[in-house]
Amino acid sequence: MRPFLRERVSIPISKRLPMMRLSIFEAWPVEMNLAEPYTVAYQSYESTTNVFLRLETRCGRFGFGCAAPDEHVTGETPQSVLRTLQEVARPILVGADPLRRESLALRLKKAGLKDFPGALAAVDMALLDLMGRAAGQPVWKMLGGYRDRIRTSVTIGILPADETVAKARRLVKQGFRCLKIKGGLDADEDASRIIKVREAVGPRIELRFDANQGYSLEDSLRFVRLTSSAGLELLEQPTPQGHLEQLGRVTREVTIPVMADESLLTLDDAFQLAHRNLVDMFNIKLMKVGGLSEALQVEAIARAAQLDIMVGCMDEAALGIAAGLALTLARPSVKYADLDGHLDLLGDPSAGAVSLKNGILYPSTGAGLGWEP
């Protein structure tokens, strides 16, 4: 019997893998008001400004990213992000091969973008979006594709107790099954609000609490003691960012999981928090760590240390939420999502990049990050 013969056809590498070069770099700010202003321990927010980025190659491939700078967290402003993108990132990216992301990331960080994580996140996002579009695949699948949806929490800012309860009831009626309540100004008042919310929404709704660095060690311990009957799921960043020993003591002395947020900005922060057993959980935000590629390295540290992960967000346009969702869907180590930063934004040009139904967040069906402008 003759063996099956298949004719070999030699295709030049240049035709199999056409070289792409970036030729268009556009960055612009978009200011968006919040439908409902809110307050956290250190700031009140009525609007936000995201910086959008568009990259395009000579052959017409394109990708989008965005930055959501928060001066209180990363030291960035919309103006500094826009200036850094135009003056530092643009000269490196124009003319470069967008598929060489690691090489470009190293050059960008050496040129100064390591101090501008929001700007770095926008570039990383746009490059991954471009790659996904070129491959015809969504980014969340390219990064792992572990799940295709996830429940997200929704945030209630600092409000009087009666308004907190009323908003909690309204959100539960909308289908949310996980509420994150902000505090940090007064541990006793915060505890009272938590107890009243629990009484109002019943035992099946998950409650999380975020002090946004507002507590001392003593405040943290008292708050946990006063809310012991409420069944809190976690306590997020109770103590100030730079006081890691306080954070570690809270973790060791309370009975609920403690999560790092503002204390987790860099890969080194992640290593120190994990190595010294200072927290039980990481809140990974792309705008803090510098994008999806950096976030995957933080995720690897958390996984090695057996720490749970939540992917969170700033006040981000839906495009930024789509990138955070891609990380959340890609990796089994991500247990929680807090991706609600787009819900109250008015005039978001990327609205529709993700969809929400009964508190469950779904990605777009499109390639890349799924936004079709």
Q: How many CA atoms lie within 13 A of 230 on its CB side?
A: 28
79-116 pLDDT, tens digit per residue, is 999 999 999 999 999 999 999 999 999 999 999 999 99
Instruction: Round to whole Å and give the CA distance between 159 and 359.
Output: 22
Q: What angle do CA 265, 267, 269 make, to 5 degrees?
A: 60
Q: At 206, which amino acid appears?
A: E
Instruction: Round to whole Å and give the CA distance between 62 and 129.
Output: 8
Domain residue ranges in the chain: 18-135, 140-363
Please say whether the beta carbons of 361 and 337 come within 8 A: yes
User: Taking 90 as the threshold, does the pLDDT of residue 7 lie above it?
Assistant: no
In the numeric block, which tokens belong to residue 4? 């099956």
Buried b (16+ CB within 10 A) or exposed e, 34-63: eeeebebbeeebeebbbbbbbbbbeeebbb
- Neighbouring residues of 324: CB distance < 8 A, sequence distance ≥ 6: 285, 286, 311, 312, 313, 316, 337, 339
CATH class of 140-363: alpha beta
Residue closest to 353 by CA, chosen among 48, 35, 66 = 66
Instruction: Say what the pTM is.
Output: 0.93
- What is the CATH T-level fold of the domain 18-135, as seen in this structure? Enolase-like; domain 1 (3.30.390)
Tell me the pLDDT band of 70, cut-offs 50, 70 and 90.
Answer: very high
**Rounded (to 5) percent helix, strand, coil in the chain:** 40, 25, 35
265-297 pLDDT, tens digit per residue, is 999 999 999 999 999 999 999 999 999 999 999
